[in-house]
């Protein structure tokens, strides 16, 4: 009896879509179009994770990145007036450095994804898990808080330091015309200085 390989078809389709959208992200001249194709790349990645039965990671990728982070990126890119001429001039200046970094990155990826490092003789296509008691969330939680507990805590500390550094850089060198909240002046505010009553004549 012939069975249609739906998992393999979906895997190949969304893999091609992921590669194509990623290429458009790095080659698009319009920043808004690049962000939209990045959203498509995240969606294709979530489908591939769903095929691997990583439902928790797939849904987190859709809800957090596509639903929140990339929406914020899209609004920021649309609101900021990006000067493409200055970006092109800087891109030409740093083009040799960028090409060298890309070459090193490609060589590293090709070295890491070999079957010897992956401890696998050949690449396998995703298959459906038949076990009824299989839980992806349970597997992730068991590994994250037992075997990878220390790397998880270190990553959280690094993210905390990054957030504090970003806030510090944002408020460093404040301009005189910058509008910010002054709590001391708000506490000193009174009704006489804030409210003005006007007598209007009746018609």
Q: Is 94 inside a domain boundary? A: no
Q: Is 60 inside a domain boundary? A: no
Could you tell me the pTM of the whole model? 0.59
pLDDT grade, residue 2 (50/70/90)? low
The pLDDT value given to residue 177 = 62
pLDDT for residue 114 is more than 90: no
Range of the domain at 160: 135-170
DSSP string, 174-193: --TT-----HHHHHT--HHH
User: In total, how many domains does the chain have?
Assistant: 1
Q: Is 65 inside a domain boundary? A: no
Q: Is 145 inside a domain boundary? A: yes
Q: Is 57 inside a domain boundary? A: no
11-48 tens-digit pLDDT: 889 999 999 999 998 888 777 888 889 889 999 999 99
125-142 tens-digit pLDDT: 555 555 667 777 787 888
The pLDDT of 80-102, averaged and rounded, is: 74
Structure-block tokens of residue 90 = 């800087």
Structure-block tokens of residue 17 = 């879509």
Q: Is 161 inside a domain boundary? A: yes
**Distance (Å, whole) CA 166 – CA 174:** 14
The pLDDT value given to residue 154 = 92
Residues in contact with 115: Cβ distance below 8 Å, sequence separation at least 6, in sequence order: 121, 122, 123
pLDDT for residue 124 is more than 60: no
Q: Is 148 inside a domain boundary? A: yes
Q: Is 165 inside a domain boundary? A: yes
């Amino acid at each position: 009896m012939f069975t249609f390989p739906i998992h393999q078809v979906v895997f190949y389709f969304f893999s091609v879509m992921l590669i194509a959208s990623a290429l458009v992200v790095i080659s698009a001249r319009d920043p808004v179009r690049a962000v939209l194709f990045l959203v498509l790349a995240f969606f294709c990645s979530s489908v591939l994770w769903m095929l691997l039965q990583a439902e928790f990671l797939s849904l987190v990728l859709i809800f957090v990145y596509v639903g929140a982070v990339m929406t914020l990126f899209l609004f920021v890119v649309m609101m900021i007036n990006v000067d493409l001429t200055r970006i092109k001039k800087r891109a030409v200046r740093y083009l040799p450095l960028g090409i060298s970094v890309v070459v090193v990155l490609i060589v590293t990826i090709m070295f890491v994804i070999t079957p010897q490092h992956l401890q696998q003789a050949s690449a396998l296509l995703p298959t459906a898990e038949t076990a009824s008691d299989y839980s992806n969330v349970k597997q992730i939680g068991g590994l994250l808080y037992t075997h990878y507990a220390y790397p998880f805590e270190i990553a959280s500390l690094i993210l905390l330091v990054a957030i504090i550094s970003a806030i510090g850089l944002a408020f460093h060198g404040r301009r005189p015309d910058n509008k910010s909240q002054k709590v001391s002046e708000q506490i000193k505010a009174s009704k006489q200085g804030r409210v003005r009553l006007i007598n209007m004549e009746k018609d």
